[in-house]
Amino acid sequence: MPGEFDSAEDDYDDTYQGAREPHRGVLILVLGILGLMVCGIIGIFAWTLGKRDLELMRRGVMDKEGEAMTRVGYILGIVATILMAIGVVISVLYFVLIFVLIARK
């Protein structure tokens, strides 16, 4: 009776495909914007969450509806993290310079 099992398997596949995780595109986008405008550390969270969610979307586990927002938040998170790292390096160099100038006196 192959006909009985075929319809049951089709129903199972349809149910599984409808049970995807909801996307977090809005959250990742907000974190990316906050990381860029307020505090670069928040950008690290946008970067890591965005990378994970984009991978889940690629595999079909997460809803792809928020892919564009997730991708933009992911990119903003990367930019915010890089700008924060540049700021930290410049700050460290500034304090080293100040320390060297004070030590000479």
SS3 91: helix
Q: In the predicted model, what is the mean pLDDT of the chain?
A: 86
Q: Which residue has the higher pLDDT, 2 or 27?
A: 27
Element (H, E) at 38: none
- Tell me if 63 sits within 8 A of 26, measured CB to CB: no
Alpha carbons 82 and 4: distance in angstroms, whole number: 57
Encode pLDDT of 57-103 as tens digits.
999 899 899 899 999 999 999 999 999 999 999 999 999 999 999 99
Containing structural domain, residue 68: 2-104
User: Into how many domains does the chain fold?
Assistant: 1
pLDDT at 3: 52
Tens digit of pLDDT for each residue in 1-14? 455 554 444 444 44
Q: What is the pLDDT of residues 40-67, one digit of tens each?
A: 999 999 999 999 999 999 998 998 998 9
